[in-house]
Structure 1
Amino acid sequence: MDLPDTRDRGSRRRRLRRRRAAVAIVVALAVLGGGAWAAWGTLGPVVARVTESDDYEGAGSGSVDVKITAGDSGRTIGRNLAAAGVVKSQSAFVAAARAQPKMAAIQPGTYRLKSGMSSAAAVALLLDPASKVTTRLTVPEGLTVKQVVALVEETTGIPAADLDAALADPAALGLPAAANGNAEGYLFPATYDVNPGESAADVLKTMVTQTGTVLASLGVGPERVHDVVVEASIAQKEARTAEDMAKVVRVLGNRLAIGMPLQLDSTVSYAVGSTDKVTTTAEQRATDSPYNTYLHPGLPVGPISNPGEDALRAALTPADGPWLYFVTVDLQTGETRFATTAAEHAANVALFQQYLRDHPGQG
C-alpha cells in the first residue's frame, strides 16, 4: 500500500491558513476604517502619514465661525477648516479626528473656532458644547403666526420688523397656493437650528418647507391642503391628545354634513386676537369676522394656529362617531367630553362651568 505524502498535505494546509488570515485582516481593517465615522460619512482614501509641517501648533487666535452641514464627511470638514485658515491641512485634521471617536457624534451647526489652530485643538473645540453658536429654536404646536414671530425674536434676536417684512413676501417663503399669501398654519412646529447670519426669511422659509414636507409625507394633495390645515389648526387648539383631535375633526365633519354651524370659541378668539382664553363673551361672538363660526357657516376662511403632525393626521383620519358636541371640562388635564345630543352636551357644559367656579381666572 502506498502512503500519502504528508509533507504536501501539510504544505497545503499552511497555505490555506495563510489565505484565511489575510482575508480576516482585510475584513478587520474595513470595519475599523469606517465604523468610527459611520454617523458622519466616509473619510475617503487612507490618509498619508502627517508630518509636523502639515499642522499648526497651539490653540490659535482670533475667531472664525465655521458651518457644518448635515452629511458633511470628515474630509469635507477638514477641507473647509483648512480653507478658512482654522487648521493648516485637511490631512492633519482628518488624522486628529480619527484619533477621537467622539467626533462621530458631531452635530450640524455653526462652531466658533480660532485661526491657526493645531488640528488636535480644533477637534477638541468642536467637541466643546460652548463652541457651538447655533441657536436652538423650539416652536410648540398651536402657536399663531404672531406668537411665532415673538418667539423667534426672543430666541434668536431677529427683529420682529424683519420677520413681519418676510411674512409680507409669501412667494419668497415658498407658501403654497392654498395659503392665499397667509403664513398662518404653515409655520411647522418643531425644533430648528438657527445659524449666525440667517435672515428672517431663511428662518420662516425653513418652517414653511417643513410643513410642505410633512404634508407630502402624509399624502395630502394640493387640492386638499387648505381644508386639511384649517381643520388641523382647529383640532390643535381644541384638544390635547391625538385621540381627542381625531374626535374634534369628526364633530366638525358631522356638523358640516347637516349644515349645522360650527360655533367654535377658538375661531372667535382668533378673530378678536384673544388666543390666551378658551371662553368668549357674547360681544366677541357677535364680531363680524370670516373666522367667526357663530355667524358664518362652514369652516373659517383660514387656519387659526400652526398645527403639528398629530393634528394633521387627525384631519386626514378623523375618528368614527356620531358626536355633534364637545367641551373641555378640565383645563389642567385637558379632559374633553363628546356628546351626541344637546342634553348630553348641556350636562358636560355644567361640569365645565363648575370647574371654572372652582378655578377662578382659568377660563
Structure 2
Amino acid sequence: MPKLFRELRDPETGRWLPKEVWYRVRGAVAVLLSLAVLVGGGWFVYGKVHDAWLAYRTTDDYIDAEGAADVVVEIPQGSTASKIADILLASDVIKTADAFTKAAAADPEGAKKIQYGLYKLRTQIPAKTALEMLLDPANQIKNQFQIPEGLRLSQVLSTLAKATNVSVKSFQKALKKRSQFDLPSWIGKSNEGFIFPDTYNLPLKPNAVNVLELPIAQFNKTLSDLAFEERADALGYKPYEVLIVASIIEREVFRDEDRAKVARVFYNRLEEGMRLQSDATVAYAVKKTGTIWTTDKERASDSPYNTYKHKGLPPGPITAPARKALDAAVNPEEGKWLYFVPVNLDTGETVFSETYEDHQKALEQLHSWCLQSEENKKKCS
C-alpha cells in the first residue's frame, strides 16, 4: 500500500483517520489546482504573446506568400516605386505602401526593371513577394500592339484603331487637345513625328488618350536617352528641325550604316543653300504610299513639302522616326557628301558622292540594276 494511504490509518487499529484524510486530500487538490493554474496561465500568456507578435509582424505587411485571391493589376508606363506601391495598395495586393517602398529600396536594381503593363498577382501577399512577382515575366499578361516604322500619321491611326478597337475619330479628337499629353514645348503644329514606332502593351481598358500616351512617353524617353535637344543645339539647329531631318532619314534609308551619312548629306545641302530634293518628302506631299519614287509631275507639286521645289526643310515631319533615325540626325557622320542614291534595291547598297558628276555615275549604276530583270523594273517604278 502506498505510503500516503498508510499514513492515513491508525497504526494500532488500522482504521482511517477522517481528519487526516481530508487534510491530505485537500492539500493534494490544492497542489493540482495550482499546477493547473500555472499551466493554463502559461498557455494564456503564450497565446497573448503569440497574438501580439503576429500583430506586430503584420502591422505594415502581410506574411502569407500564398495570398488570398488572384487579381489583375495594371502598372502604367514610367511608374515610380511609390506609384506602384499606391496601385498595389489600392488592389489589396500589399497591406501598406511603405512596405513595398522598403522592399523596392532593398532591391533598387530589381525595382528599376519593372515593366509597365498588366500583371496577374495575388491579393494580401508580402511586399517582397509582390516585387518578385512583378519581376517574373511569367506573371505579365502579354496583350501587345505594334506601331511599324515609316508610317505617316493617317496610317498610324488606322493601325492603332485595328489593334485597340478605338476609333480613328477618337484618336483624332484626342490629338486636338495636345495639352493633355506630355509633349516637348518645341513640337510644331503637325501631329506627325511623335507617335513613336515600337511595340507596346495594351492598357487594361484602352481609350484614345491612354493608348497615345504610350508612344508619346517612349518618344520623350528616347529624346532624353539621346540628349536630343542638346545635340541639336550643338549642331546649330532647333530640335524640331532635327526631328524633321530624322523623319526624312526614316523614309530614305535602307541600311543602318547609311543613316548618319544621309544625315550629313542633308545638313551639307542646307548649309550650301541647296534644295534637299528628297523624293520621300514629295511622296508625302502627294499622299503617295508604298514607294518613295516620284514622277516629274509629282515633283512639280506646289506643296511646301516638295523639297525639289522649295529650299530648306519642309514645314513638319513626314513620319515618326524610330530611334536609329533620331540617333543619326543628332550624330551625323563627318563627310562632304552632297548626294546619295541606292544602287541595289535588294541589298540597300548606297553610293554617296561629293560632286554632281560622281552622282550621275551612281545614277547610271542604279539604272543598270533596274534593267537587269522585270522584277527589278517593278521595284524601280
TM range (shorter): 0.5 to 0.7
Q: 1:256 to 1:123 in 2, by over 3 A?
A: closer
Aligned to 1:333: 347
**Does residue 158 of structure 2 align to residue 154 of structure 1?**
no
**Does residue 338 of structure 2 align to residue 286 of structure 1?**
no
Residue from 329, 347, 356 that aligns with 1:342: 356
How far residue 304 of structure 1 moved from its aligned partner, in angstroms, is 1.2
How far residue 137 of structure 1 moved from its aligned partner, in angstroms, is 3.1
Q: 1:191 to 1:158 in 2, by over 3 A?
A: same
Q: Deviations over 1:90-115 (max 9, x none)?
A: 8xx99xx9xxxxx9987542235688
C-alpha contact 1:239 1:245 (8 A) present in aligned 2: yes
Moved more, 234-243 or 284-293: 234-243
Distance in 1, matches of 2:164 and 2:170, equals 12
Using the size of structure 1 for normalisation, the TM-score is 0.68
Q: 1:55 to 1:339 in 2, by over 3 A?
A: closer
Distance in 1, matches of 2:351 and 2:248, equals 16
Q: 1:72 to 1:257 in 2, by over 3 A?
A: closer
Q: Deviations over 1:134-191 (max 9, x none)?
A: 5323334333222222222232332222111122222223333433221211222333
Q: 1:360 to 1:205 in 2, by over 3 A?
A: same
Aligned to 1:312: 326
Moved more, 181-190 or 352-361: 352-361
C-alpha contact 2:164 2:206 (8 A) present in aligned 1: no
Q: 1:123 to 1:229 in 2, by over 3 A?
A: closer
**Does residue 291 of structure 2 align to residue 277 of structure 1?**
yes
Structure 2 letter corresponding to 1:360? K
Distance in 2, matches of 1:288 and 1:185, equals 22
Distance in 2, matches of 1:254 and 1:86, equals 58
Distance in 2, matches of 1:153 and 1:86, equals 33
Using the size of structure 2 for normalisation, the TM-score is 0.65
Distance in 2, matches of 1:312 and 1:271, equals 22
How far residue 72 of structure 1 moved from its aligned partner, in angstroms, is 4.4
How far residue 83 of structure 1 moved from its aligned partner, in angstroms, is 4.9
How far residue 67 of structure 1 moved from its aligned partner, in angstroms, is 2.0
For structure 1, the 5+ residue unaligned runs are 1-45, 98-102
Q: Where in structure 2 are the equivalents of 1:215-254 lying within 5 Å?
A: 215-216=223-224, 217-218=227-228, 219=230, 220=232, 224-254=238-268
Q: 1:116 to 1:270 in 2, by over 3 A?
A: same
Aligned to 2:336: 322
- Secondary structure of the residue aligned to 2:273 is coil
Q: 1:318 to 1:136 in 2, by over 3 A?
A: same
How far residue 49 of structure 1 moved from its aligned partner, in angstroms, is 6.9
Query: Which is greater in Rg?
Result: 2
Q: 1:83 to 1:289 in 2, by over 3 A?
A: closer
Q: 1:82 to 1:56 in 2, by over 3 A?
A: farther
Structure 2 letter corresponding to 1:362? K
Aligned to 1:171: 179
Distance in 1, matches of 2:249 and 2:365, equals 21
Structure 2 letter corresponding to 1:266? A
For structure 2, the 5+ residue unaligned runs are 1-53, 104-109
Aligned to 1:137: 145
Q: 1:113 to 1:156 in 2, by over 3 A?
A: farther
C-alpha contact 2:261 2:335 (8 A) present in aligned 1: yes
**Does residue 118 of structure 2 align to residue 110 of structure 1?**
yes
Structure 2 letter corresponding to 1:271? A
Q: 1:47 to 1:80 in 2, by over 3 A?
A: farther
Aligned to 1:22: none
- Secondary structure of the residue aligned to 2:378 is coil
Structure 1 letter corresponding to 2:152? T
How far residue 323 of structure 1 moved from its aligned partner, in angstroms, is 1.7
How far residue 354 of structure 1 moved from its aligned partner, in angstroms, is 2.9
Q: 1:340 to 1:48 in 2, by over 3 A?
A: same
Q: 1:84 to 1:296 in 2, by over 3 A?
A: same
Q: 1:82 to 1:313 in 2, by over 3 A?
A: closer
C-alpha contact 2:249 2:325 (8 A) present in aligned 1: yes
**Does residue 195 of structure 2 align to residue 206 of structure 1?**
no
Distance in 2, matches of 1:273 and 1:114, equals 51
Q: Between the two proteins, what is the percent identity of the paired residues?
A: 38
Structure 1 letter corresponding to 2:197? P
Distance in 2, matches of 1:243 and 1:56, equals 51
How far residue 262 of structure 1 moved from its aligned partner, in angstroms, is 1.6
Aligned to 1:361: 378
Q: 1:267 to 1:115 in 2, by over 3 A?
A: same
Q: 1:246 to 1:81 in 2, by over 3 A?
A: closer
Distance in 1, matches of 2:132 and 2:254, equals 43
**Does residue 282 of structure 2 align to residue 268 of structure 1?**
yes
C-alpha contact 1:133 1:195 (8 A) present in aligned 2: no
Distance in 1, matches of 2:378 and 2:298, equals 18
Q: Deviations over 1:34-72 (max 9, x none)?
A: xxxxxxxxxxxx99778xx986999858xx532245554
Distance in 2, matches of 1:106 and 1:205, equals 18
Q: 1:349 to 1:135 in 2, by over 3 A?
A: same
